[in-house]
Chain A
Amino acid sequence: MALSQKTKETLLGPLNANNPVVVQVLGICSALAVTVQLKPALVMGVAVTIIVAMSNVIISLLRNTIPMRIRIIVQLVVVAALVTLVSEVLKAFAYDVAMQLSVYIGLIITNCILMGRLEAFAMTNKVWDSFLDGLGNGLGYAAILIIVAFFRELFGAGTLLGFRVIPESWYVANGGFYENCGMMMMPAMALIIVGGIIWAHRAINKEEK
């Protein structure tokens, strides 16, 4: 199926040029907190993508019936119901990851990406476009999460997805020269890495223009 220009833009724009985390500054809280390791970051990215896409569809279907004054509460309830579903599914099928993510699963409700996309897009657009927009934004968010988690897990623990990447024999303890960077496991480094990503992103995108 050939995608029209507009559809392509709705879906792929948020991955780079209009990234929800780096450009629109939405959903920072969870982006920083769950990125110590790659696995929870992946799960979080997938969970948010599903929830954004689904809630965009639901709100888009309801957009003509929701009274303006109470729209925020309606949106919150829809999102909260979806998050509850995802949280129960995770607890049933991926208990250890659900425990690692702890409160941040619940905090998807107040993730600004959701409210931002619902307000800015789903309230005024058709169902299919809203679905693509949700998917694109979710994936854009997941991409940033994965980049940050990649660096933090690689340099902080020397592993990726739990598999050892930096050989044991390199470590000082085994007579090598290498030592893990403990700073990477601290919350502070997540902020600095995101700062660095924003720097790189802006520098590159300016050159393209």
Chain B
Amino acid sequence: MEHALSLFVRSIFADNMIFAFFLGMCSYLAVSKTVKTSLGLGVAVTFVLLITLPVNYLLQVYVLNPLNLGYLSFILFIAVIAAIVQIVEMVVEKFSPSLYASLGIFLPLIAVNCAIMGGSLFMQQRILLDPENVKAIANIGDAFAYALGSGLGWLVAICCLAGIREKMEYNDVPKPLQGLGITFIVVGLMAMAFMCFSGLNI
């Protein structure tokens, strides 16, 4: 339990998907124009991570490892992610049209979000770690904690950036730097700030 908690906190701050590994950068930069849509995408990413990561964990441990099919993991993981995104989209559309209306456009995009695939690939590496290591994922509970933490970390990151970009609308940025250029530099500065958490020991 303690291990899962520390894994959760670490994956939000120290091992943040965006600032430490640059995962999910494309949609991160494209969608972070307003806080509201960013929040929607962040929730959708967290949600999909929370389902796909434990499923892929079970597949890796109970199917791929015993059968020695490790080299098929890329195809299997991406198929699982694409299928689950499709199912989630249909379920949300059926049971909660209002949530679907707010997430709708982002859901199909998530299948190709690197943060989702990256979460599964990092999980694959972390299974091999010594169970004493703070980064190890030793059971399904850890997989859930890691998924939730990574998703929330991504959500925090995109909401922060969207907040800054909303304010930046009113600033006088040099012409060639406007838009994408300044966004990169802002993310760089934010990443520096988040580096403070890397010494965090829980």
Interface residue ranges, A against B (CB under 8 Å): 25-30, 32-33, 72-73, 76-77, 80-81, 83-84, 87-88, 102-103, 106-107, 109-112, 115, 186-192, 194-196, 198-200, 202-203, 206
Contact = CB atoms under 8 A, between A and B. Distances in A.
B142 to A, nearest CB: 18
Interface of B: 19-26, 29-30, 71-75, 78-79, 82-83, 108, 111-114, 116-118, 121-122, 125, 174-177, 180-185, 187-189, 191-192, 195
Nearest to A88: B71
Contacts of A111: 114
Contact of B191 (A25, A87, A191, A196): A191
A30 B25 CA distance: 9
A33 to B, nearest CB: 5
A191 B111 contact: no
Contacts of B79: 73, 76-77, 80
Given A76-B78, A187-B191, A103 B118 contact: yes
B118 A80 contact: no
Nearest to A84: B74
A190 B188 CA distance: 8
A195 B23 CA distance: 17
Given A28-B29, A83-B74, A84-B74, A206 B176 contact: yes
15 contacts: A25-B30, A26-B26, A28-B25, A72-B82, A72-B112, A73-B82, A77-B75, A84-B71, A103-B121, A109-B74, A110-B112, A110-B117, A192-B185, A194-B184, A198-B184
A202 B181 contact: yes
A129 to B, nearest CB: 23
Residue among A191, A196, A200 having the largest count of chain B Cβ atoms under 10 Å? A191
Contact of B108 (A72, A83, A103, A203): A72
Nearest to A102: B125
